[in-house]
Structure 1
Amino acid sequence: MKNLKYIYIGLVSAALFTTASCQLTEDLEDYKPPYALEADTAINSESSAELALTGAYAAFRQKSSGGAFPIFYLMADIMSGYSNNGQYSTGPEPVGWATNNPLATGARDTQYIYGGLYDLINRTNWLIEKVSALDDKVFTTPGRKAEILAEAKILRALGHFYLLRTFGQFYDVNSEYGILVRTKPVKNAEISPRNTVAETYTAIIADLDEGIANAPDLRSKKYTNKTFAKGLKARVLLYKGDYANAVTLCQDVIANGGSNFKLEPTYGAIFDDHDSAAIFTSSEILFGTAGVSNEGIGIGNFYGGFSANISQVYKDAIAGSMTVGAQNITYDAGRTSIFITNVSYGGYYTTKYTSNFITGTNELFYHMRIAEVYLILAEASARANNAVTPEALQAINTIRTRAGAVTTGGNGFETYPNTISLSQFLTAVRYEKLAELYAEGGETWYDLIRYDYADGFGSGFKVSDVKASATNSDKFILPIPTESIDAGNRVIKQNPSY
């Protein structure tokens, strides 16, 4: 296989073929793709750098078929059982997700997810390499060169993190099964072994630290920024088990986010107005990807019954309760109205996104909202101190109060009292995230895995307590597509049990 020397610019994309997708079967020496520029000259000015950055963001755009998104978001919800396969997701691969036995070979969507995330990373790597080489005088906007590089590195960190939690043993910092970290653009067919989990976390955190230092304060909620970098780093540290530092970052975001980054006073208002572009400007959003207007393939249609529908298991879970002292406290009551019975396809659909059931053409996929920062703070503070701290209790109750919980000391949708035990509190946080963040990227599936691992796989809380078929911890993560492993001469080691 020859050098890959072109940068695609169709749809202002900075994408390059990535060997991760491993569908390169022809000799590329004399092949020049349409809508391409020579890599060495494509990025030579501030305007071309901005175009390439836009192309990196475009990697998140949903596709009706053949792309990583939005199936990447739905897969985790199907694995957890909180979503069911939809009308058009009846093949062996989605059935494998639903039964917690994912396919390693012939798994088209898994290949799309794996290749699509590396495509995102490769777009950022080309951008970083070429912009770094430009003279500062090329940029007429003061400080913009550093900002572009920082935005790209936040995107690269997000791509690596998404890969790690999907294909790597993210829960075990001592595991050899991280992912292949790429910090340089793909220029040939050479493949390196996968990095360890610790090495992967180190690379992700290094990129986020640069984002925190140099990214814009805010251009638009459709672009990365300093506050999102802090919030994402807090999530990464929570996954890594560095709870104390996760707490510090959450405190920073909450205290210093200002008017641009704060909780909305009403939960449902974040998602209500799909007829207006105002949905993109909510103070709740740290970073999101806008849907494609008027194309009929928004993520809501995928959650609307075509690819997945929200299950009764989910509705039953958040309708549950726990007994704390003399109180019977329900997990949720105020957020259930956004999940509507789907009479066409079964289950439920969500008004978080547009669909054939929801009017309007505006929607945003939420990579992160500030509500999650409060819930990371709650869990991380409790785990760091091995106790329900006042700040942990205040954080979860802030989210519950916003959702309509009351503080009367009675039964029902109440705030949690300070008599709650640590074990009960951690359970409460998990259910709170389920009620607050469900259908926003699969975070609740990875919570199940983290909680199981924290108790020791197979003892204490178990993923199988929620999903009966999820008994093999090796299969909590997806396999590396065997087609990719074979195309790379089997340098990449497959995950256990596949």
Structure 2
Amino acid sequence: MKKIVCYIMLLLTTISQYACKKDLNALPPQAKVEGNVIIDQKSAEVAMNGAYSRLAVVGTSLSVNSTTYSIYHEVTPAMYAGWMQYGFGQVPDYINAVTPAASATLWTPNYAILNAANGVVEGVNALADSKFTGTRKAEMLAEARFLRAYAHFNLLAYYSEWYNINSAYGVMLRKESLQLSNAAQARSNVKDSYDFILQDIDFAIANAADTRPNYYANKTAAKVLKMRVLMLRGQSADYGSIITLANEVMANTNYQLEASLKDLMQVKGLTSKEIILGITPFTSQVGKRSRFEFIQSSVYLASPQFRKLLENDPRATWMLTKATTSTQASIRDSTYMSKFFGPKVEESYVFRLSEVYLLKAEAIVRSGGNLADARTLVHQVQEKAGITALANTVNYLAVENANTPALMLVEIYKEFSRNMVAEDGIEWLALLRLPFATVRQLRPTIIEQKQYILPIPLTEFQLNPTIGEQNPGYPRQ
């Protein structure tokens, strides 16, 4: 019982530190996310904003209130994929050797989202429909369940054997807000994990608003999340569903590919019509910049592998910048990942339209479709980065010459990596969807499939002994 109480206090402390207003900047100090403070639509909106603050991982960075999303959703997966490295020495993330003692990086923030989202679901469901205007009650439930699906999906992708639908090693699903009675809980199997995630997403697609400011989830964001989930599940019927969803999103005139990838990242940011869901920073924060460019004590750099990936690619001229001004000798003459540099550096992107094009291309290939159709989609994305038959023949021709499904999937993975590196783990999961032999060739630090996922954190076994077995191949401690 003492362990259960400690577990509850640890999670409640984690999830109740910060909240935010509609632009994720600052809720009043009394803002909460627990369902029992939801008494009307206004208080429900406050709780919902608190749940979005968990998505943004609101905290402090360099002693300033900040969205710290980039630590968990940008830098860490990019290191797993081999495209970023720590500036002051090798770390386990970069060599795919994370231990249970250090594997909570993506565990804790996602369970914080779940508790907040569940609080909104329970609180809103408890209110009469008359407490809400129009369809807002159903829309709020859709947004909360979207956030719940997003968090469960991350836990599935990073801590569960997502690649084996029959595996017992799925997600510890949190379907209700954390209480003393449900704190100790076992994990579900993989199939049930996928099923529950998709139930939440389908509810969001059916009930979310068609349009919302792009720091909130809407019907389109739910469709893109479903595409991610189905691509990871990878059952034969999933690919047709992905293509259908992609066509629906691409037909939505509210969104369009940005004419210049550089302008999207460094000039337009969240104002671009390509962004489907993003993270709005605090106006005073500099924390994300400090992770990509040395400011005070830490920095993450473009790896030699990523620099090689961008050889003969016009993106290298602005996505890579020599770190020649640092006073730290250990990173002098190293290379910054300068993709986000400029006035939009603190903004982050959860979903954007380029991913939809590339996921559709991948689904076409995996479903046995016409390679020419997939090739066209990849070229449409490449064009926005300055890669055309005339302007960049090397990478353009690599796609043109990919004349088998296996070769085309590798080229799609490379475009995911060049275009969407450090954006919510997209490049990491695209790598792992390739055949294991190909993964080993492209990422030599992965020598066993167990490295596709992380071990369950040591603290979880200490506080929740009923969770079940550790992921195969890993010790409990």
Tell me which interval the TM-score lies in, with the shorter structure as reference length. 0.7 to 0.9
Change (3 A) 1:142 1:9: farther
The one-letter code matched in structure 1 to 2:195 is T
For the aligned residue pairs, the C-alpha RMSD in angstroms reads 2.8
Structure 1 unpaired stretches of 5+:
15-33, 320-329
In structure 1, what is the equivalent of residue 413 of structure 2?
430
In the alignment, is the contact (CA less than 8 A) between 2:388 and 2:396 conserved in 1?
Answer: yes
Task: Say whether residues 1:79 and 2:60 are aligned partners.
Answer: no
Task: Say whether residues 1:406 and 2:401 are aligned partners.
Answer: no
Change (3 A) 1:347 1:293: farther
Equivalent of 1:392 in 370, 374, 380: 374
State which drifts further: 119-128 or 186-195: 186-195
Task: Say whether residues 1:252 and 2:241 are aligned partners.
Answer: no
Equivalent of 1:448 in 431, 435, 438: 431
Distance 2:61 2:466 in 1: 28
Change (3 A) 1:69 1:407: closer
In the alignment, is the contact (CA less than 8 A) between 1:146 and 1:215 conserved in 2?
Answer: yes
Distance 1:191 1:484 in 2: 10
Q: State the 1:388 CA deviation.
A: 3.8
Equivalent of 1:50 in 38, 45, 61: 45
The one-letter code matched in structure 2 to 1:247 is I
In structure 1, what is the equivalent of residue 215 of structure 2?
222
Q: Secondary structure at the match of 1:288?
A: strand
Change (3 A) 1:77 1:408: closer
Matches within 5 A, 1:281-300: 281-297=271-287, 299-300=288-289
In structure 2, what is the equivalent of residue 333 of structure 1?
314
Q: Secondary structure at the match of 1:265?
A: coil
Cα deviation digits, residues 17-36 of structure 1 (max 9, x gap): xxxxxxxxxxxxxxxxx947
Matches within 5 A, 1:149-160: 149-160=141-152
Q: State the 1:249 CA deviation.
A: 0.8
The one-letter code matched in structure 2 to 1:119 is A
Change (3 A) 1:211 1:46: same
In structure 2, what is the equivalent of residue 269 of structure 1?
263
TM-score with structure 2 setting the length: 0.85
Q: State the 1:334 CA deviation.
A: 4.3
Q: State the 1:51 CA deviation.
A: 0.3
Q: State the 1:350 CA deviation.
A: 3.6
Distance 1:232 1:439 in 2: 17
In structure 2, what is the equivalent of residue 473 of structure 1?
449
Q: Secondary structure at the match of 2:143?
A: helix
In the alignment, is the contact (CA less than 8 A) between 2:18 and 2:50 conserved in 1?
Answer: yes
Cα deviation digits, residues 306-338 of structure 1 (max 9, x gap): 24211121010232xxxxxxxxxx6x3346523
Cα deviation digits, residues 220-260 of structure 1 (max 9, x gap): 111111111111111111111121211111111112x11x2
Cα deviation digits, residues 259-290 of structure 1 (max 9, x gap): x21111111111122xxxx5322111110112
Distance 2:85 2:451 in 1: 18
In structure 2, what is the equivalent of residue 185 of structure 1?
177
Structure 2 unpaired stretches of 5+:
22-28
In structure 2, what is the equivalent of residue 29 of structure 1?
none
Distance 1:199 1:37 in 2: 31
In structure 2, what is the equivalent of residue 349 of structure 1?
336
In the alignment, is the contact (CA less than 8 A) between 1:68 and 1:115 conserved in 2?
Answer: no
In structure 1, what is the equivalent of residue 70 of structure 2?
70
Change (3 A) 1:180 1:244: same
Cα deviation digits, residues 395-452 of structure 1 (max 9, x gap): 111112222222369943436438722222111111111111011122212222111x
Change (3 A) 1:472 1:40: closer
In the alignment, is the contact (CA less than 8 A) between 1:268 and 1:335 conserved in 2?
Answer: no
In the alignment, is the contact (CA less than 8 A) between 2:187 and 2:468 conserved in 1?
Answer: yes
Change (3 A) 1:212 1:489: same
In structure 2, what is the equivalent of residue 138 of structure 1?
131
Task: Say whether residues 1:378 and 2:373 are aligned partners.
Answer: no
In structure 1, what is the equivalent of residue 302 of structure 2?
310
In structure 2, what is the equivalent of residue 99 of structure 1?
95
In the alignment, is the contact (CA less than 8 A) between 2:32 and 2:47 conserved in 1?
Answer: no
Change (3 A) 1:79 1:40: closer
Distance 1:361 1:370 in 2: 18
Identity of aligned residues (%): 29
In the alignment, is the contact (CA less than 8 A) between 1:264 and 1:283 conserved in 2?
Answer: yes
Cα deviation digits, residues 345-379 of structure 1 (max 9, x gap): 3543344435xxx4x37632111110010000001
Q: Secondary structure at the match of 2:349?
A: strand
Matches within 5 A, 1:25-44: 35=30, 39=34, 41-44=36-39
In the alignment, is the contact (CA less than 8 A) between 2:204 and 2:222 conserved in 1?
Answer: yes
Q: State the 1:300 CA deviation.
A: 2.9
The one-letter code matched in structure 1 to 2:314 is A
Aligned length: 440
Distance 1:35 1:352 in 2: 37
Change (3 A) 1:427 1:336: farther
Distance 1:464 1:339 in 2: 26
In structure 1, what is the equivalent of residue 25 of structure 2?
none
Distance 2:175 2:42 in 1: 23
Distance 1:335 1:388 in 2: 31
Change (3 A) 1:429 1:138: same
In the alignment, is the contact (CA less than 8 A) between 1:279 and 1:363 conserved in 2?
Answer: no
In the alignment, is the contact (CA less than 8 A) between 1:378 and 1:393 conserved in 2?
Answer: yes
Distance 2:215 2:32 in 1: 26
Q: State the 1:114 CA deviation.
A: 1.1
Q: State the 1:464 CA deviation.
A: 2.8
